[in-house]
Structure 1
């Protein structure tokens, strides 16, 4: 061959081939057919006939009779039948897991960024969650316990369990809304033009990785029968 072929076998190994045996005679009873063959390092089968060869020689495999029907150009038909039938098959473990995230080079290099569980309060950084109030706003609750305590309630989920919800409606009424305009979908698609590589990062408990500004922590307070609590990280 003037080129090399890389063939993937059913055993998931790669075989590099640089030779071809042309016009090899194959005898089916008293009929002779020819084939161009590539040597494979497989000893379970003497020869494997591909789909192209079956099409070119008008051959049809009949599984239940263990026979092959050949149709000649002159429309004459003959049947080759052997006492043995070999099937090329392999098992695939569909339950095996895919590539592990831990094997990715970037994840290994920055393992502290991709923990399985959050180790604790996120470190201080330039980006923090803040709650801006309308000028002149007074606390919505009275001391001595908390000036911003919000009530809690439980809402039943679809599976029957209960979800803890904090009623921040009073706080929301005196909070300056984020007026940053949402991007138009057309503009987002325009930005993706000519892009070839895309990445996705799903932060574990992402909101809990964003610290609340120290001066805004009291505004996150909520009260329960067991006491008053405040969020040190974003609770949304």
Structure 2
């Protein structure tokens, strides 16, 4: 053996031992020599156990809001009412038999619901009496499902329009913190008034019970739940991926493009995409000339993304320069084939601007990677077209408002024009 100095890649000199053997074999580099020559290196991350930051405050939060962490059923202040149609016919159903193997479980569940204040035993006569359906859960526990099918027929629902995802998403601008809230037994948080409680009476072999809280199966329950919770959180800012969030106060750009087989559109704010839209062209639309397809792209983008565009000044970017000039002409100077399309966007405040195709890369990609699904209906209806046509004519007529009002009044008196209006609107 011999000790020979070698220089590694870090220009460090290492004295390494070489052993010579009288055997034909490939040279072998040992582990220590490999380490000394920096051919093998250790990469060690020193990690120390530490609790997440949130855990530092867990005990303090639980102590301050201990009434929220006691595991008991929550209760929303106030009461909820169930309103019935005046033609409602009360139905009293007999009790259904319960299999012997479920009797103890049903008794235990009824007792739990009474303890939690969800239901209460009732002895006085009631006009409505419903049944229950027993469902076995995956955890082997049972759920008592209320069966108010007869009652639901007569419930007058307080119609409440739920916000769409796009409407909620538009409020997410500049958000930094997000939270997911899950209401456990959410409907049971709403207290019923006495009259409504009697409507939700159900019968079992162990007696009758009335719901003190809203039952899951009642037809009006989902809307009441969403209405109240939306009111509770309406002032909470829930807002910020690849897609940005819509800012109703910021400048809007609608970028559109068409290919031989599809249409694409995207709304941009500060050069960031907000929402996309694409679809395939029908067989007849594929036969359109270039300017018609590009015009159809604008119409499709406006109609599909109407929620974001109506009531706002919208800058439309297209790579077809003739459309920029076309939108500056009076409607009666537009080629007939395009007039009908332009009627469909009369309700939008559009400013069409030509942009080179290389700048419309998102809309360009969407028009070629379109959603391949059929068009369910015409992108606008005849009624909408007539309204747009009338509004366009009124806006371009060189007539004073006083004379226009007189024309309207006289039209309503003319029998022939009344008949003509009937044929136009009703067919």
Q: TM-score, length-normalised on structure 1?
A: 0.52
Structure 1 gap ranges (5+) = 1-28, 36-63, 71-78
CA distance in 2, matches of 1:159, 1:115: 23
TM-superposed CA distance for 1:176, in Å, is 0.8
2:176 corresponds to which of 180, 196, 219: 196
For residues 31-68 of structure 1, give each alpha carbon's deviation from its aligned partner in whole angstroms, at most 9, with x where no partner exists: 37479xxxxxxxxxxxxxxxxxxxxxxxxxxxx93553
Q: Does 1:111 align with 2:111?
A: no
2:191 corresponds to which of 202, 211, 226: 211
1:221 alignment counterpart = 201
CA distance in 2, matches of 1:185, 1:99: 29
1:149 alignment counterpart = 129
2:7 alignment counterpart = 31
Change (3 A) 1:98 1:171: farther
- SS state of the match for residue 31, structure 2? coil
CA distance in 2, matches of 1:101, 1:228: 49
Q: TM-score, length-normalised on structure 2?
A: 0.32
CA distance in 2, matches of 1:100, 1:204: 23
Change (3 A) 1:134 1:226: same
- SS state of the match for residue 230, structure 1? strand
TM-superposed CA distance for 1:174, in Å, is 0.7
Change (3 A) 1:65 1:91: same
1:132 corresponds to which of 83, 97, 121: 83
Contact 1:146 1:228 in 2 (8 A): no
Change (3 A) 1:164 1:89: same
TM-superposed CA distance for 1:101, in Å, is 9.5
2:362 alignment counterpart = none
Contact 2:146 2:215 in 1 (8 A): no
Change (3 A) 1:65 1:121: closer
1:179 alignment counterpart = 159
TM-superposed CA distance for 1:151, in Å, is 1.1
Contact 1:139 1:148 in 2 (8 A): yes
Change (3 A) 1:181 1:204: closer
- SS state of the match for residue 233, structure 1? coil
For residues 165-214 of structure 1, give each alpha carbon's deviation from its aligned partner in whole angstroms, at most 9, with x where no partner exists: 22110010010123212222221211212322323333443332221122
Contact 1:155 1:162 in 2 (8 A): yes
CA distance in 2, matches of 1:179, 1:171: 17
Please provide the CA RMSD for this pair. Answer: 4.2
For residues 131-184 of structure 1, give each alpha carbon's deviation from its aligned partner in whole angstroms, at most 9, with x where no partner exists: 111124343239974311101222454566654222110010010123212222
Structure 2 gap ranges (5+) = 13-29, 94-122, 217-427
For residues 68-99 of structure 1, give each alpha carbon's deviation from its aligned partner in whole angstroms, at most 9, with x where no partner exists: 368xxxxxxxx4699xx988477888xx9995
Considering fraction of residues, name the structure with more helix: 2
2:316 alignment counterpart = none
CA distance in 2, matches of 1:69, 1:87: 12
- SS state of the match for residue 191, structure 1? coil
Contact 2:130 2:148 in 1 (8 A): yes
CA distance in 1, matches of 2:182, 2:145: 24
Change (3 A) 1:81 1:227: same
Considering fraction of residues, name the structure with more strand: 1
